[in-house]
Amino acid sequence: MALGEYRRDKDESPMQVAIKVLKKEDARLQLLEEACVMAQVDHPNLVRSLGVCTTGRPMMLVLEFAAHGPLNDFLKEHSTGLAKMSPEMQMQASMDVLEGMAYLEAVGLIHRDLAARNVLLDHEYRCKVSDFGLAKFGSDDDTYYVAENLDALPVRWLAPEALEHQKCGS
C-alpha cells in the first residue's frame, strides 16, 4: 500500500488515501474484480473504495485511509496486545467487525478472508473490514463441499456452523 492525496475537485482540500498498487501485471483482472465488489458495498465498518485508476501503469485502487493500520499490527506494537485495549475498546472493535460482516451477509457477499490483518483501525480506533480480493457474491444454490469426516476440513479456519454441518462454501 502507498499513501496519497485525493480531491473531488480542485477547490476541495485534499484528504489522505491509501493506494493499492498492482504489483503483477497478470493480476489486473483480480484488482478490477476487487474494485467491482467494493463499488457495490457501502457501510461505516467497511473500508470504502474511492476510485480505481486503470489508465497507465501500474493500475491502482484508491481506498479510504485508516490512520492506525491493521488490527494485528496494532496489537503487536502494543507489547501486551489485548491487555492494552480497554474492555470498552475490545467490545467496540468486536461490534464494528460484527456490524461490517452482518452488512456483507445481508447483501449476499462472502468475504472469505476475514483476519485481524484485514481489519483496519481508523483515526478514531474504529474497525473497518478491508481486503475484498477473495470476496464473492453467493447464493443458496452455490455449490458446497460436503466432508465425509472432520479430518477433510481445515478446522482452524472454519466457522462453527461449517464444522457443525461439515459443509464449506467455495
The predicted-structure confidence for 78-133, as pLDDT tens digits, reads as follows 766 566 778 898 899 999 999 999 999 999 998 988 999 999 999 999 999 999 98
Could you list the active site residues? Answer: 113
Asked whether residue 87 falls in the same domain as residue 163, the answer is: no
Domain with 150 in it: 144-170
Q: Is the pLDDT of residue 156 over 80?
A: no
**Model pTM score:** 0.79
CATH number for 131: 1.10.510.10
Asked whether residue 33 falls in the same domain as residue 75, the answer is: yes
DSSP state of 164: H
**C-alpha–C-alpha distance, residues 121 and 71, integer Å:** 6
Q: Is the pLDDT of residue 24 over 60?
A: yes
35-39, 52-56, 149-153: least confidently modelled range: 149-153
Q: Give the residue with greater pLDDT, 8 vs 20.
A: 20
Asked whether residue 153 falls in the same domain as residue 124, the answer is: no
Q: Reading across the β-sheet that carries 2-6, which strands appear in turn?
A: 2-6, 15-21, 60-64, 49-53
Q: Give the E-state strand segments of 56-141 in sequence order.
A: 60-64, 69-70, 109-110, 119-121, 127-129, 136-137
Asked whether residue 105 falls in the same domain as residue 161, the answer is: no
Asked whether residue 68 falls in the same domain as residue 53, the answer is: yes
Q: Is the pLDDT of residue 154 over 70?
A: no
CB 142 within 8 A of CB 168: no
Q: How many domains does the chain have?
A: 2
Q: Is the pLDDT of residue 35 over 70?
A: yes
Q: Grid coordinates 496494532 are at which residue? A: 74
Asked whether residue 87 falls in the same domain as residue 169, the answer is: no
For the stretch 83-88, contacts whose Cβ atoms lie closer than 8 Å and that sit 24 or more positions apart, written own/partner, are none
Report pLDDT for 134.
86
Q: Is the pLDDT of residue 149 over 80?
A: no
